[in-house]
Amino acid sequence: MKNCIGLLLLLGALTITNTASAAKVKLGNWYTEFQLADGIILPASFFIEKTKKSVCLTIINGAEQILLNQIKLVGDSLFILFQTFDAELKIKIHTKTYLTGAWFNRAKSTNYNVPFRSIFEGESRYPYTHNQIMVEGKWEVTFDYKSNPEKAIGLFNYFAPDFTITQPIKTNLLSGTFLTETGDYRYLTGATVGDSLFLSTFDGSHAFLFRAQLRKDTLWGEFFSGKHYRTDWYALKNESFELTHPDSLTYVVNEEPISFELMKLDKSIYKYPNESLKNKVVLIQIMGTWCPNCLDESNYLRGINERYPNQLEVLAVTFETQKTTDEKIEKVKKYKDALNLNYTFLIGGDACKPCAADLFPQLSEIISFPTLIFIDKAGAIRKIHTGFSGPGTVDYYLNFVAETDAFIETLVNE
């Protein structure tokens, strides 16, 4: 892994002693299984690698690599914190090739956890075989069709074992994602096996498992999120299907100017609007550090902020799961530092959409974290973008970047 740098624990140099034997954690690929429910297993890929000074653990979701660099050893156990999410892996070392543990996601609740086991160089995440069905392309998806239907787009591509996408390709390994009107499910990886499709991801904030069977021209499937959520879905191939455009979901309902006073990370009060924003374009990001789509948008905004240092201001208004203001501030500081974000962060309140809507009564509603407000130099709202389709959506993300870059350039030059 390219990003193996600066860890707190030198795993590869340590000998771990437990009641059974002395065991050194092996370096390389670790096949991992999260048990979401009885009989429901989500496969994941860990990679432990050694450099001259340290060893790092990386979670791999196809093209995505998530480096974990806060690791603590206590006896025969490892405690690994995520850089951006309020989550942790607690791992017990049984032998040099076998680990068990649990993923704790405190953004959901204090005790929310999902157990897992890891085997060194065990079986692949999904078996690599000759492909038997073809699902590549764009699909019109309906989630929860039995009670509360929600439309989505499924994007699937086959790839070679080294993750090089080629066409045509005789492989069953699959990458892709699902787009909804409020964001995407980010980097999914899996396979088609026999007449069935399997896709999964684990990023510290979410554990998603999709599976489906192809019957004639329709995929009939199940979606599992963590250990509590399950719904049914079906999909038909439809290259022309599109969702409602994200710029039209939230809109201005009155001409009252945006105005607020919120706490900065140093606990001083930030007033909007203010003189420092005169003749500047302002982007207000309504977001939460617990939100992977917000993370993807934050990475995009970092580049925009650096491109226009004197002509544009990014304000991130955060809505967090922590109970106290101090806890919220510490979580946002950690997120800001981990992503190297050099723009202003403000504490908006608790992680709820009505809480965000109360702060912005000018808008019809807040239906998604993130929501991005574009404000011109005169202080007028020019556009509102709901949700975020990140780099896992490939062409949708590239189109967003091209169109948004051009729009911001227009605002800056007005």
Residue linked to tokens 């969702």: 243
- 249 is a domain residue: no
Residues 292, 404 within the same domain: yes
Q: Is there a single domain that holds both residue 45 and residue 99?
A: yes
Q: In this structure, are 276 and 371 located in the same domain?
A: yes
Q: Is 364 among the domain residues?
A: yes
310 and 392 assigned to the same domain:
yes
- The verdict on 408 and 274 lying in the same domain is yes
d(CA 281, CA 413): 10
Mean pLDDT of 394-413: 97
Name the least confident of 50-64, 76-90, 168-182: 50-64
Instruction: Measure the CA–CA gap between 32 and 139, rounded to whole angstroms.
Output: 29
Q: How distant, in Å, are the alpha carbons of 60, 126, 222, 248, 266 from that of 291?
A: 19, 27, 23, 22, 23
Is 197 found in the same domain as 160? Answer: yes
pLDDT, tens only, 340-385: 999 999 999 999 999 999 999 999 999 999 999 999 999 999 999 9
- Confirm whether 132 is domain-assigned: no
Tell whether 142 and 192 lie within a shared domain: yes
Task: Identify whether 252 is part of a domain.
Answer: no
Asked whether residue 202 is assigned to any structural domain, the reply reads yes
Q: Do 153 and 95 share a domain, yes or no?
A: no
pLDDT in tens, 103-154: 999 999 989 999 999 999 876 787 777 667 889 999 999 999 999 999 999 9
**pTM of the complete model:** 0.90
Q: What distances in angstroms separate CA 278 from CA 156, 262, 360, one per listed residue?
A: 46, 19, 21
CATH number of residue 26's parent domain: 2.40.128
Residue 131 has a pLDDT of: 65
| Together in a domain, 307 and 355 | yes
- Residue 233 and residue 279 in one domain: no
Please give the Cα distance from 83 to 140 (Å, whole number).
35
Q: Report the alpha-carbon distance of residue 138 to residue 212 in Å, rounded.
A: 15
- Provide the number of structural domains found in the chain: 3
SS in 3 state form for 309-363?
Answer: CCCEEEEEEEEECCCCHHHHHHHHHHHHHHHCCCCEEEEEEECCHHHHHHHCCCE
Rg, Å, the chain Cα set: 22
Beta carbons within 10 angstroms of residue 295's beta carbon: 23
Domain finish residue from 237, 252, 283: 237
- pLDDT > 90: percent of the chain: 80
Mean pLDDT, the chain, as a whole number?
90
Look at residue 57 and tell me if it is in a domain.
Answer: yes
| CATH classification of the domain holding 229 | 2.40.128.120
Residue range of the domain that includes 323: 260-413
Are 268 and 402 in a shared domain? Answer: yes
Which of 120, 154, 181 lies at the terminal end of a domain, its last residue? 120
Asked if 116 contacts 93 with a C-beta cutoff of 8 angstroms, the reply is no
pLDDT in tens, 27-45: 999 999 999 999 999 999 9
| Whether residue 280 sits in one domain with residue 189 | no
3 in a domain, yes or no?
no
Residue 22 parent element (H or E)? strand 22-23
